[in-house]
Amino acid sequence: MSERKSGTVEPLRPKRPCPECGQPSSRETYPFCSVRCKEIDLNRWLSGAYSIPATEEEDQGEDDQEPR
């Protein structure tokens, strides 16, 4: 077991830069640095600026299916 210094607390999450502005992230708005940056990101998702790429599989028509 590793020894810990008495009185020190390890953070739950490592500090990372805000994905919007690059400032250190805040615990209250993680992974963002502020409510402003958090809302900017949310607005981009809601307005369709961000999208998750998807591949559509070809639909099998009734003629292509095997009889049961």
Residue 46 DSSP code: H
In angstroms, the CA 17 to CA 20 distance is 9
18 annotated as a binding-site residue: yes
Residue 59 DSSP code: P
21 annotated as a binding-site residue: yes
37 annotated as a binding-site residue: yes
19 touches 32 (CB < 8 A): yes
- How many Cβ atoms are within 10 Å of 39's Cβ, its own excluded? 13
The annotation places the binding site at: 18, 21, 33, 37
Binding residues for Zn(2+): 18, 21, 33, 37
